[in-house]
A = this chain, B = another copy of it.
Amino acid sequence: MRDVAVIGVGMQKWGELWEKSARDIFVESALLAMNDAGVDTLESMYVGCMTPGLFDAQEHFGSLMADYLGQKHIPSTRVESACASGGLAFRLACMDVASGMHDVVLAGGVEKMTDISGSDATHALATAADLKWEGVSGVTFPGLYAMIAVAHMAKYGTTREQLAAVAVKNHDNGSMNSRAQFPTKVTIDGVINSVKVADPLNILDCSPITDGAAAAIVVPADMVKKFNKPGVKVIGTGHATDTIALHDREDMTTLAAVSEAADQAYKMSGKGPKDIDFSEVHDCFTIAEIVVSESLGLFERGKGGPAALAGETAIGGSTPINPSGGLKSKGHPVGATGVAQIVEITEQLRGEGGDRQVKNARVGLAQNMGGSGGSSVVHILEVM
Using a CB–CB distance below 8 Å, which chain A residues touch chain B?
Answer: 1, 21, 50-54, 56-64, 66-67, 72-82, 88, 92, 95-96, 98-101, 123-124, 126-132, 135, 239-244, 248, 256-257, 260, 370-371, 374-375
- From the candidates B56, B78, B101, B128, name the one contacting A81 in the complex (CB within 8 A): B78
| Residues on the B chain within 8 Å of A78, using CB | 79-81
A53 touching B127, Cβ below 8 Å: yes
A100 to B237, CA, bound (A): 14
A370 touching B95, Cβ below 8 Å: no
B64 touching A374, Cβ below 8 Å: yes
B79 touching A79, Cβ below 8 Å: yes
Q: Return 22 A-B CB contacts under 8 Å, by A number.
A: A1-B100, A51-B59, A53-B124, A53-B127, A57-B135, A59-B127, A60-B81, A60-B82, A60-B127, A60-B370, A62-B81, A63-B82, A63-B371, A63-B374, A64-B244, A67-B374, A72-B241, A73-B241, A77-B88, A79-B79, A98-B101, A99-B99
A73 to B375, CA, bound (A): 8
- A56 in contact with B131 given A101-B1, A240-B73, A244-B67 (CB within 8 Å): yes
Taking A59-B82, A63-B243 as given, write out 20 further A-B residue pairs in contact, using a Cβ cutoff of 8 Å, ordered by the A residue number: A53-B54, A53-B124, A56-B131, A57-B123, A60-B81, A60-B244, A63-B81, A63-B82, A63-B370, A63-B375, A64-B130, A64-B244, A67-B242, A67-B248, A73-B257, A74-B240, A77-B79, A77-B88, A77-B92, A78-B79
| CB closest chain-B residue, reference A238 | B75
Q: How far is the CB of A153 from chain B (nearest CB, A)?
A: 26
A374 to B68, CA, bound (A): 12
**Among A59, A75, A82, A124, which residue has the most Cβ atoms of chain B within 10 A?**
A59
| Residues on the B chain within 8 Å of A135, using CB | 57
**Among A58, A80, A130, which residue has the most Cβ atoms of chain B within 10 A?**
A80
| CB closest chain-B residue, reference A241 | B63
- From the candidates B21, B95, B101, B375, name the one contacting A60 in the complex (CB within 8 A): B375
| Residues on the B chain within 8 Å of A256, using CB | 73
| CB closest chain-B residue, reference A248 | B67
| Residues on the B chain within 8 Å of A370, using CB | 60, 63
Q: How far is the CB of A99 from chain B (nearest CB, A)?
A: 4
Q: How far is the CB of A237 from chain B (nearest CB, A)?
A: 9
| Residues on the B chain within 8 Å of A129, using CB | 60
| Residues on the B chain within 8 Å of A51, using CB | 53, 59
A75 to B242, CA, bound (A): 9
A239 to B130, CA, bound (A): 32
| CB closest chain-B residue, reference A268 | B101
Q: How far is the CB of A74 from chain B (nearest CB, A)?
A: 6
- From the candidates B74, B88, B128, B241, name the one contacting A67 in the complex (CB within 8 A): B241
Q: How far is the CB of A88 from chain B (nearest CB, A)?
A: 6
The 5 closest A-B pairs by CB, nearest first: A99-B99, A75-B239, A60-B82, A63-B241, A59-B127
Q: How far is the CB of A365 from chain B (nearest CB, A)?
A: 18
A80 to B48, CA, bound (A): 10
| Residues on the B chain within 8 Å of A53, using CB | 51, 53-54, 124, 127
A50 to B51, CA, bound (A): 11
- From the candidates B60, B80, B128, B243, name the one contacting A374 in the complex (CB within 8 A): B60
B128 touching A59, Cβ below 8 Å: yes
B127 touching A58, Cβ below 8 Å: yes
